[in-house]
Chains A and B, each alone.
Chain A
């Protein structure tokens, strides 16, 4: 069966510090991968998605970036965090073919102080 791992679960970082959130998927090949941010009362905002290694599409311009160094690994990064980067970050994957649902990780609660 397929599983998705996302870590860390919680993170408190000072303004201006770097960020690295990691997401890995097991039990499938060539998944589509997604990073979402969920702000309180505002639903899910798609940040990045990837259909293959090294292929990243950015939906919203900001100081975040994403990378996909391996088929089942998706990393969200920032060189310098802003207060507005606080939120709940969710990684998700879908199968490469077919219109199936997205499977979500457990999320990372990021607080920038």
Chain B
């Protein structure tokens, strides 16, 4: 079975500073990669995904993630964060019909 590791459970960062949320997974065989964002007491919303093609994928609100097959990583980055980015972020790997989620990273943007 897959395992997904999000190394940082909490990441505080000042507004307008850059941020990187790390994600590593256990196997690179036929995987599809996702980042989701969750606001308090809500479901998960897709932030971005890697299925194939370019290893750098971007979201509409300035986040990007790069698929690195050799390092089995899919780190999420944003060059300048906003207060509204405060949320829980989950990395996920899909193999077959199943999704495997990391334990999440709580991003807190400090004014």
Known contacts A34-B99, A43-B104, A49-B98; decide if A107 and B90 are in contact (CB<8 Å).
no
Known contacts A32-B97, A99-B51; decide if A43 and B103 are in contact (CB<8 Å).
yes
With a cutoff of 8 Å between Cβ atoms, the chain B residues found around residue A109 in the complex are 41
The answer for the CA separation of A103 and B46 in the assembled complex, in Å, is 8
With a cutoff of 8 Å between Cβ atoms, the chain B residues found around residue A51 in the complex are 97
The answer for the CA separation of A6 and B41 in the assembled complex, in Å, is 13
Name the one of B44, B45, B98, B103 contacting A41, with C-beta atoms under 8 angstroms: B103
B102/A43 in contact, CB under 8 A: yes
A90/B44 in contact, CB under 8 A: yes
Interface code B86-104, partner A: CB below 8 Å = 1, 0 otherwise?
0000101010011111111
For the complex, is B62 an interface residue (Cβ under 8 Å from A)?
Answer: no
A46/B98 in contact, CB under 8 A: yes
The answer for the CA separation of A107 and B49 in the assembled complex, in Å, is 22
Majority SS at the chain B contact face: strand
Tally chain B residues at the interface, Cβ within 8 Å: 23
A44/B90 in contact, CB under 8 A: yes
The answer for the CA separation of A32 and B96 in the assembled complex, in Å, is 11
With a cutoff of 8 Å between Cβ atoms, the chain A residues found around residue B26 in the complex are none
A-B contact count (CB 8 A): 53
For the complex, is B43 an interface residue (Cβ under 8 Å from A)?
Answer: yes
Tally chain A residues at the interface, Cβ within 8 Å: 25
With a cutoff of 8 Å between Cβ atoms, the chain B residues found around residue A42 in the complex are 103
Name the one of A6, A34, A88, A101 contacting B46, with C-beta atoms under 8 angstroms: A101
With a cutoff of 8 Å between Cβ atoms, the chain A residues found around residue B46 in the complex are 101, 103
Name the one of B42, B97, B101 contacting A106, with C-beta atoms under 8 angstroms: B42
Give 6 A-B contacts (CB < 8 Å), ordered by A residue: A6-B43, A34-B99, A94-B97, A100-B51, A101-B49, A104-B45
Q: Which residues of B contact A (CB under 8 A)?
A: 9, 32, 34, 36, 41-46, 49, 51, 90, 92, 94, 97-104
Q: Which residues of A contact B (CB under 8 A)?
A: 6, 32, 34, 36, 41-44, 46, 49, 51, 88, 90, 92, 94, 99-107, 109
